[in-house]
Amino acid sequence: MKVSAAEAVVMEALWRASPLAAEDVSAQVAEGQGWTEATVKTLINRLLKKGAISAEKDGRRYLYRPVLTREAYVGAESQGLLDRLFDGRLAPLVSHFSQNRKLTPQDIEELKRLIEELDR
């Protein structure tokens, strides 16, 4: 399932707390993005059509909750990034960040720990 960057902003609000009404989602994301409530409702409708979120009637309004998990989204986006930029390989990605001095000492320690865990 492909989720656009704008739709991901709405998803993040729903992953933080749900279920939420459209006006609650709008209150969380619209101002920071420069969006109107109508824009947020459009994004919600796109996500509904994709099956990324579900809706349940609550009186005169609908409450929305994520169907797509954040973990599944991050996994798909991460793999897409690796596929597009690094031929599906992780080592060139890490190499890119190390060559551009984007890895902190904490990042390096964490990578070492992860590699040790994988070796076991």
Q: What is the pLDDT of residue 83?
A: 94
**Which amino acid is located at 22 in the chain?**
A
**Domain assignment of residue 13, given as a range:** 5-66
Question: Per the domain annotation, does 94 fall within a domain?
Answer: yes
pLDDT tens string 48-62: 999 999 999 999 999
Does residue 30 contact residue 36 with C-beta atoms inside 8 Å?
Answer: yes
| Dihedral sign for Cα atoms in the order 36, 38, 39, 44 | positive
Question: Per the domain annotation, does 54 fall within a domain?
Answer: yes
Question: Per the domain annotation, does 119 fall within a domain?
Answer: yes
Question: Per the domain annotation, does 113 fall within a domain?
Answer: yes
SS3 120: coil
Low-confidence ranges of the chain (pLDDT < 50): none
